[in-house]
A and B are shown apart, each in its own frame.
Chain A
Amino acid sequence: MAKVTLVEAITLAHNWEMSHDPDVLVLGQDVGRNGGVFRATQGLQEKFGNQRVIDTPLAEGMIAGLCVGMAAQGLKPVAEIQFMGFIYPAMDQIVNHMTRLRNRTRGRLTCPVVIRTPHGGGIHSPEHHSESVESMFCHIPGLRVVCPSSPARAYGLLLAAIREPDPVLFLEPVRIYRYARQEVEDNGQALPLDVCYVLREGTDCTIVTWGAMTVESLKAAEELARQGISAEVIDLATISPIDAETILDSVARTGRLVIVHEAARNVGVGAEIAAIVAEHGLYDLEAPIQRVTGYDTIVPLARLEHDYAPSVARIVAAVRATLS
């Protein structure tokens, strides 16, 4: 078993699936010869050729449209969008066609597409390169939105996403692409989509988070433990559709909920989670729900970016607030 980073795990998952399924293709800007901006597809073109790893023109709408056409014909394209801020030209294809072909044709045409894109900031790249606009996509029926937070989950969830018969937006937390190495068995085992992963058990407060914020949340849980507070940390993993049961079960035990996300607060996914718990778990709550989020502004330049994203201190303070 090899110890790999999150981005290396993504390469491994591509490699496994392309080796076992000739219908799987990779496309995007610079994904072939260069292996992508973050080298997530490194070595794939050499191995599988330029017909299966396609260096596309700079045209995100075209990339997404190609995916729709390929997928409706039985192929399984995996497209890379270089940064989440560049995904907007592809919105028409994603919203109007990729996620709806199945519906309007009663399943005669389907779109098993994966669109991968880096998620969030923290790597000193200005605004468009630091976007975490998942809530825009969670509003789209027919789309799954997935965000792994460790090498093992990146491997297993990407395999699951490629095998999924519906389109999946696969968000890769850029800040932790190379944050830690973890043993990942390259055995083609997918992990379940549509379920949360409990990363740390606790009894006093539930922290629900995803992506790079799992790291801050786990650090906050450590700090809270030192202060005698037991926090449970849940990685949402599939941001849409939300696994409400796992969250509600946890809140039923802890009585408190803090939601942590890097995205701006207004109509963020945290609002949906809070609403689910308000609708189905209100009487379990012993304190108001807290949200620790990015601010309702544009992600700032490098100097201030760490003030934008939730910090360990802000998470600790929010958990303490639910207990006070």
Chain B
Amino acid sequence: MSKKTAAIDIAEATRLEMYRSQYRLREAEQRAFDLFLQNLVKGTSHLSLGQEAIAAGFATAMQPGDLTFCTYRGHAHTLARGVSVEKVLGELMSRDNGLMRGKGGSMHLTSVEHGVMGSYAIIGAHLCIACGAAWRAQYQGKSDVTTCFFGDGTTNIGAFHEALNFAVIWKLPVVFVCENNLYMEYTPIKDVTAVAQPAADRASAYGLERILIDGNDADVVYQTAQKAYARARAGEGPSLIECLTYRHSGHSRADPAKYRPKGELEKWKESDPVKTYRARLLAQGIKASVLDEIERVVKAEVDAAEVACKASPLPPDEIMFTDVYADGGCAWRN
């Protein structure tokens, strides 16, 4: 695990963008939580608080046209591709202004025009699906790269291994990103995994390089992503990247996360990706006023999103019966 403190070889504009992105993800997720407390977000959802550097680092390294596949913990990855906070919060609130106009919900955020090819709430499945998308790029001679995000718990399901095997055989332009936040829901990942590093220690089984990085350091994430994307675009095949991180909130809304040992959260908060990145930028000579301005603009977007979502109507109840078949309906017989 490399702990670089200053990455001067990343352009200032890129670093500022990564700060903006991380700050935005933090604010949007925090607001999602606030709205939940106001009983405006029904059902469960899974926040990426504390894991922002991974979403920001990868998305910043992507090019337009690249594809993102997320899990149910997908708000951050969706936002990081440039989807508006209003569309994401609206979807969480099941409003008509939401990304899927209130039909997909928190766990199924999708925005084809931003390259977000869906969020998948069944563990493992989307790794195979991502291979299908990457296979299409290869078949059609396109240069887009697919990134598939998943958690540490996902490394123990068959689909993880099936997807890696297939991606390597065909040298697919796909990057598998394991966000190791130490927990599979409530179970410490080390208690249920044969190896210490659930993704990295499996890489060699597929002839892949062992890549384990500090997932709370956006610079490290960004540089690792760049390398993987260059490799994929050069036709050299997939990468498997394990990012060490920690979620600040519970697994889902209803989870108070009492199973965590005392002091663990506090220790990880010392390497809070948003705060440490801000401090680093200041140490690198960026003026506080520049960062303050970024924060002001982000806050304004999130505030405006909240107002718009609260004002947005709900979609009609008939959506329960739409879009099951290609004719737009769910008729037993079209």
Contact = CB atoms under 8 A, between A and B. Distances in A.
B323 interface: yes
Interface stretch (A53-61, A177-185, A282-290): A53-61
Contacts of A74: 136
A226 interface: no
B129 to A, nearest CB: 4
B89 interface: no
A108 B322 CA distance: 13
Given A69-B130, A70-B132, A109-B112, A57 B169 contact: yes
Interface string B170-193: 000000000000000000000000
Contacts of A67: 132
A241 interface: yes
Contacts of A93: 125, 128-129
Interface string B91-126: 000000000110111001010100001101010011
B259 interface: no
Contact of B117 (A89, A103, A109, A242): A109
Contact of A72 (B100, B104, B133, B169): B133
B131 A62 contact: yes
Given A69-B135, A75-B139, A103-B103, A96 B322 contact: no
A36 B139 CA distance: 22
B326 A101 contact: no
Interface string A206-234: 00000000000000000000000000000
Contacts, number: 140
A243 B333 contact: yes
A104 B104 CA distance: 5
A77 B334 CA distance: 23
Contact of A57 (B101, B125, B165): B165
Interface string A128-168: 00000000000001100000000000000000000011100
Given A62-B131, A110-B326, A166-B326, A97 B117 contact: no
Contacts of A87: none
A69 B330 contact: no
A105 interface: yes
Nearest to B119: A104
B13 interface: no
Interface string A35-72: 00000000000000001000011010110111111111
B293 interface: no
Interface in A74-118: 74-75, 77, 89, 92-93, 96-97, 101-110
Contacts of B324: 102-103, 141-142
A105 B110 contact: yes
A96 B123 CA distance: 11
Interface residues of A, number: 45
B96 to A, nearest CB: 12
Given A110-B326, A242-B332, A65 B103 contact: no
A69 B128 contact: yes
Contact of B132 (A71, A92, A105): A71
In the complex, which of the residues B118, B122, B131 has the most CB atoms of chain A within 10 Å of its own CB atom?
B118
Contact of B322 (A51, A69, A101, A106): A106
A56 B166 contact: yes
Contacts of B12: none
Interface string B318-334: 00001111101011111
A62 B159 contact: yes
B163 interface: yes
A250 to B, nearest CB: 16
A90 to B, nearest CB: 10
B162 interface: yes
A198 interface: no
A92 to B, nearest CB: 6
Contact of B118 (A89, A101, A194): A101
B158 interface: yes
A300 B103 CA distance: 46
A166 B134 CA distance: 21
Given A103-B103, A109-B117, A97 B122 contact: yes
B128 A61 contact: yes
Contact of B100 (A89, A97, A104): A104
B239 to A, nearest CB: 18
5 contacts: A57-B166, A62-B163, A105-B112, A106-B101, A106-B322
**Considering the complex of A and B, which 10 residue pairs feature the smallest CB-CB distances, nearest first?**
A69-B132, A65-B128, A165-B326, A62-B162, A69-B129, A73-B136, A70-B132, A66-B132, A59-B162, A241-B333
Interface of A: 25, 51, 56-57, 59, 61-62, 64-75, 77, 89, 92-93, 96-97, 101-110, 141-142, 164-166, 194, 241-244
Interface of B: 100-101, 103-105, 108, 110, 112, 117-118, 120, 122, 125-136, 139, 158-159, 162-163, 165-166, 169, 322-326, 328, 330-334
